[in-house]
Amino acid sequence: MAELSLLINLGIMVIAAALSLFLARALKQPALLGYLIAGVIIGPFGLNLLTRPEEIALLGELGIIFLLFTVGAETDFLKFMKAGPTILLGGLSQVLLTIILAYYVLPGLTFEAALYVGLALALSSTILVIKLLQDKKTLQSLHGQLMLGFLLVQDIAVVIALPLLAAGPSNLDIGFFEILGLKALLLIGIVAVLSKKVFPTIFRMSAQNAELLYLTALATCFGFIGLAYTLNISLAIGAFLAGLAIANLPYNVEAVSSVRGLRDFFVMLFFVSLGTQLTLNVGGIPLGFVIAAIAMVFIFKPLVIYIITQLAGYGSGTSSRVAFGLLQMSEFSLILLFQGHAGGVLPESVYSFMVLLVAGTLVVTPYVMEGGPLWHQWMRRFLKFKVFSHFPVFSRKIDELQEVTAAHLNRHVIILGAGRSGKYLAGTLSKTVPVIVVDHDPNVVAYFRKQGIDSVYGNAHNPEILEKMHAERARLLVCALPDMDEAEFIVNYSKHHFPKLKVFAKANYYEDAWKLYKAGADYVVLTEIIGGHVFAENVENFLLKGKPLKPVNMVKLKERVYMEREATHGVKNLL
């Protein structure tokens, strides 16, 4: 049975991961936590079911490679360079300050160990944050875009740090950096040539067949890995550069999607394998280390990010959302800790405790982000950092997006949320009545202002925005927010503070409509239900009479959607 040991071990890990993921989903916890628990259960600390775990650990390292490949493919350096000083300087400052503090505050660590631990504490989870932002439909909001910017800086920092830390401080002399610089320039040159001259043609041809596109993406990844191996550079760097080589191609989304299943499988193997190596031996770790590490994650890290975003003039509401949204540690933190432990830099007790700390921060993150408005009120009450919004370090000010000309705001219509419904409604109503649009995406605000429609930045959990809109003089409030919790909050607030104001709202399901009516809405439209009825009516009419009720000119519709998309994307990114 020795030749089947790898297959048996894989089967055990997949079954354990699947069961643990069911449990994690039921408890609304991230998948990464479920994988770690699966590893602990089947590992030496638990049931000890694996016979040759070193084979799985080797396969699991492919998860790091594929993860960095997709990170590179989804990295938009043009957007990164336009992100401004808040992201570039602020993100790097946050990482460096955390590393420095770890060296001076955490007891019992060598310089190299402090580098590993400090960088692990500084990182936040890209996968978890994006998932939570997508669930709340706030990925394109101002705080969402700022969080993505910070995450991008952190991801690039760890990609650079991994090979440097693996080399060890004794090898980091001038000659090492000279050789590394020459190799990096060679690789970057190859990436530039291939991405401009070769890959556009290859991927255009391969995009005609899904299987060919999948194999072409894999071949690109392994080709750069082989090149990195030849140059004696980290394989992870090769995978990241392979992703960068296709990042600006029109087919990068399809290419990444095609390898995502393979990436997720090997990432699962890596984190389950990581769980099998946990001994939970934290008995010898000093209490001061435990307290200091927890304080750095839950106090120092969000405080630094909060101050940085406040200095940039983004306001206390946005700053607190960004700070507490990035409170958790990252999947890359686990990769760093694994490398430090495998290299003999991190003691067993420190390694085990830090992995537990990563798991703990992942658990609390959804609850911290859900309570964002309450954290914001706490920050405003106890931390008087309003002076930062006027500090002349950065030029970008959130106040510019909240300027309102109040003179003509009378008998006007306020539209909260400029998604598909809100955008169409604003464009139609603005031809006959005064309209002002409120949205949490600064690019949408800029788009409407370019169209000559009053628009301001704001979010539903900031009721002061309605006072700025002079809701007491408004004729109608239209709530087209995608988040039903925010919609219910704003409807309830509006009817209590502006009882004469009529409120129309949008919902997707009957339960949501019932909640909005209970909150005081005067009229709720069920967009998806109505759309379903209209669709069914057209299908029935076609089956009976052979044609739809009202044929749609799809050519004109496609042209209009394309023009709106171009107009929106053409607006200069305000970040």
CA separation (Å) from 102 to 109, 338, 354?
Answer: 9, 18, 13
Report the pLDDT value the prediction gives residue 18, as an integer from 0 to 100.
92
Examine the domain organization and report whether 130 and 185 are in the same domain.
Answer: yes
In a domain, 47, yes or no: no
Report the pLDDT value the prediction gives residue 372, as an integer from 0 to 100.
61
> Which CATH number do you get for residue 94?
1.20.1530.20
CA–CA dist 428, 262 (Å, integer) = 46
Amino acid, single-letter form, for residue 23: L
Examine the domain organization and report whether 455 and 370 are in the same domain.
Answer: no
Examine the domain organization and report whether 107 and 248 are in the same domain.
Answer: yes
In a domain, 130, yes or no: yes
Q: How many Cβ atoms from other residues are within 10 Å of residue 1's Cβ?
A: 7
Examine the domain organization and report whether 304 and 178 are in the same domain.
Answer: yes
Q: Which residues of the chain have pLDDT under 70?
A: 1-3, 53-54, 57, 76-86, 134-135, 137, 139-140, 167-177, 279-283, 371-408, 442-443, 459-464, 548-575
In a domain, 5, yes or no: no
In a domain, 31, yes or no: no
- Cα radius of gyration (the chain): 26
Q: Which domain holds residue 102?
A: 61-382
CA separation (Å) from 274 to 63, 141, 277, 361, 575?
Answer: 12, 35, 5, 17, 37
Cβ neighbours of residue 326 under 8 Å, at least 6 residues apart?
124, 129, 147, 150, 151, 301, 302, 305
Examine the domain organization and report whether 208 and 315 are in the same domain.
Answer: yes
Report the pLDDT value the prediction gives residue 504, as an integer from 0 to 100.
92
Domain final residue pick, 367, 382, 397: 382
3-state class (DSSP) for residue 499 = coil
Domain count, the chain: 2
Domain final residue pick, 365, 382, 399: 382
Domain final residue pick, 366, 382, 398: 382
Examine the domain organization and report whether 372 and 472 are in the same domain.
Answer: no
- Torsion, Cα 339 130 89 196, to 10 degrees, reads 80
Cβ neighbours of residue 231 under 8 Å, at least 6 residues apart?
183, 186, 187
> Which CATH number do you get for residue 548?
3.40.50.720
Is residue 439 within 8 Å of 407, Cβ to Cβ?
no
CA–CA dist 306, 151 (Å, integer) = 15
CA–CA dist 96, 153 (Å, integer) = 12
198's enclosing H/E stretch is: none
In a domain, 198, yes or no: yes
Nearest to residue 279, comparing CAs of 504, 23, 46? 46
- pLDDT tens-digit series, residues 322-340: 888 898 888 788 888 888 8
Examine the domain organization and report whether 374 and 490 are in the same domain.
Answer: no
Nearest to residue 574, comparing CAs of 78, 84, 81, 139? 84
Report the pLDDT value the prediction gives residue 121, as an integer from 0 to 100.
92
The pTM score is 0.68
In a domain, 29, yes or no: no
Cβ neighbours of residue 430 under 8 Å, at least 6 residues apart?
452, 453
Examine the domain organization and report whether 432 and 355 are in the same domain.
Answer: no
In a domain, 3, yes or no: no
- pLDDT tens-digit series, residues 30-80: 787 888 888 888 887 788 887 776 677 677 778 878 888 887 787 766 655
CA separation (Å) from 105 to 101, 111, 244, 288?
Answer: 6, 12, 37, 9
In a domain, 424, yes or no: yes
Nearest to residue 87, comparing CAs of 155, 181, 26? 155
- pLDDT tens-digit series, residues 401-413: 666 655 567 888 8
CA–CA dist 45, 82 (Å, integer) = 48
Examine the domain organization and report whether 436 and 526 are in the same domain.
Answer: yes
Phi-psi region of 25 (alpha: psi -120 to 50; beta: other; left: phi over 0): alpha
Report the pLDDT value the prediction gives residue 106, as an integer from 0 to 100.
87
Examine the domain organization and report whether 276 and 143 are in the same domain.
Answer: yes
Examine the domain organization and report whether 352 and 448 are in the same domain.
Answer: no
Amino acid, single-letter form, for residue 461: H
Examine the domain organization and report whether 80 and 156 are in the same domain.
Answer: yes
Report the pLDDT value the prediction gives residue 392, as an integer from 0 to 100.
40
- Take residue 15 and report the two structure tokens written for it: 């079954």
- pLDDT tens-digit series, residues 449-493: 888 888 887 765 666 677 777 888 888 999 888 778 788 888 888
- pLDDT tens-digit series, residues 142-160: 777 788 888 878 877 887 8
Amino acid, single-letter form, for residue 379: M
